[in-house]
Amino acid sequence: MAAKHIDEVSGTETTGHEWDGIRELNTPLPHWWVLTFYACIVFAIGYVIAYPAIPLIHGATSGVLGWSSRGALQQSLAAAQAAQAGEVTKLTKLSLAEIKQNQALDQFAIAGGRSAFKVYCSQCHGSGAEGAKGYPNLNDDDWLWGGTPEAIMQTITHGIRYTADPDTRDSQMPSFGADQILTHEQIVQVVNYVLELSGQKHDAAAATAGKALFADNCAACHGANGKGNRDLGAPNLTDQIWLYSGTEKAIIAQITKPRHGVMPAWGGKLSVATIKELTLFVHSLGGGE
């Protein structure tokens, strides 16, 4: 190693490199910077020992503290569950009416239902429970199978036309057209009567003819006045809400070859508390009875 070269102007040592007579000064790093750097090295060594750090072929070193991100998540989930345990036990034990009387518990249930709804129900009913064609809107005041908390809970627990559950809600509208129970002309007459029932534009003569056909073929389920029957899930035909649209064309299609929605039974899959949460959430949406 060559002798140290000191720059005459600044009095600082140079690195010994020289380019065309220009020498690079070897300016020392600030003391605090060097100390911070050493402290970081010490910290890094400690970190590597304490936490998962060095990647190996099958995973990484686990670290003496045994920390893992999955474990941390499980811990915080367990902590959240423990924090909710009191409320959840109450939800499981108390009846829906009792829960509704306890304002704080009711709010807790609705909040829980809101988040469970996003996971289990929004696929069909929409994230705002607004429904779609063939999937009921849960915000409105029209209920196929009943809008009381008990009826809603029954529907969620056992589903609709869900054959795996013996207690499921079930009903079927005959295929009046496809099975040739009624002719197309007769169907059009019934449809005009239904349009009259719901206060829409219709052919008065056809509606009069349709009235008799309605009494013979439809009133058994939909009622003599067309107001429906919740025991059978038969829709109210006099209101403004139509599951499969209320135009003449759509009603003809539904009578000719009806479509039937299926809802799974959540009874075995979700806990009683979660089902009660969902029930109270749906009931709180504005149309609950």
List of residues contacting another protein (CB under 8 A)? 27-28, 30-31, 100, 126-130, 133, 137, 139-142, 199-200, 236, 239-242, 245-247, 283-288
Cβ proximity to another protein, 218 vs 285, nearer residue: 285
Per-residue buried b or exposed e for 132-151, using 16+ beta carbons within 10 Å of the residue's own CB: eeebbbbebebbbbbbebeb
Q: How far is the CB of 286 from another protein (least distance, A)?
A: 5
Cβ proximity to another protein, 11 vs 166, nearer residue: 11
Cβ proximity to another protein, 75 vs 245, nearer residue: 245
Kind of pairing between the strands at 22-25 and 59-60? unpaired
DSSP string, 49-111: HHSS-SEETTEE---TT---HHHHHHHHHHHHHHHHHHHHHHHHHS-HHHHHHSHHHHHHHHH
Q: How far is the CB of 91 from another protein (least distance, A)?
A: 17
Distance CA 23, CA 40 (A): 32
Cβ proximity to another protein, 68 vs 137, nearer residue: 137
Cβ proximity to another protein, 66 vs 286, nearer residue: 286
Q: How far is the CB of 141 from another protein (least distance, A)?
A: 5
Cβ proximity to another protein, 31 vs 70, nearer residue: 31
Q: How far is the CB of 6 from another protein (least distance, A)?
A: 14
Q: How far is the CB of 289 from another protein (least distance, A)?
A: 9
Alpha-helical runs (H) found in the chain? 31-50, 69-93, 96-101, 103-120, 122-125, 149-158, 184-197, 204-217, 219-222, 248-256, 272-283
Which one-letter amino acid corresponds to residue 254?
Answer: Q
Report which of 142, 147, 152, 253 is spatially closest to residue 198, judged by C-alpha positions.
Answer: 142
Q: How far is the CB of 134 from another protein (least distance, A)?
A: 11
